[in-house]
Amino acid sequence: MPESSPRKKPAYIPPPAKATPQTNPGWLVPVMLSLMILGLVWIVVTYITQSKLPIPGLGQWNLAVGFVLIITGFGLTTRWR
């Protein structure tokens, strides 16, 4: 029975894992939660006051401000480890 030929290049050896695991910056979770809660409160206040508050001149755009705050908070969740 014929023998198979030996490998010409060395076998792949993966690089060693990083010594320290990556962690969250200390500001990330508080800012993330604060933005999401502030956006929710902003929208609730807009509905309760019929768009007269938090900023009277914006009218229904107050809803957009609230949603932007919430979306920004959710955007920060992508950096969470």
pTM (two decimals): 0.74
Domain count, the chain: 1
Q: Is residue 73 part of a domain?
A: yes
Peptide bond into 56 cis (omega under 30): no
Q: Is residue 18 part of a domain?
A: no
- Residues 52 and 59: their CA atoms lie apart, in Å, by 7
Residues 11-47 pLDDT 10s: 888 888 777 878 899 999 999 999 999 999 999 999 9
- What residue numbers bound the domain in which 71 lies? 41-79
Backbone angles phi, psi at 80, to 5 degrees: -75, 130
pLDDT band at 63 (very low <50, low <70, confident <90, very high): very high
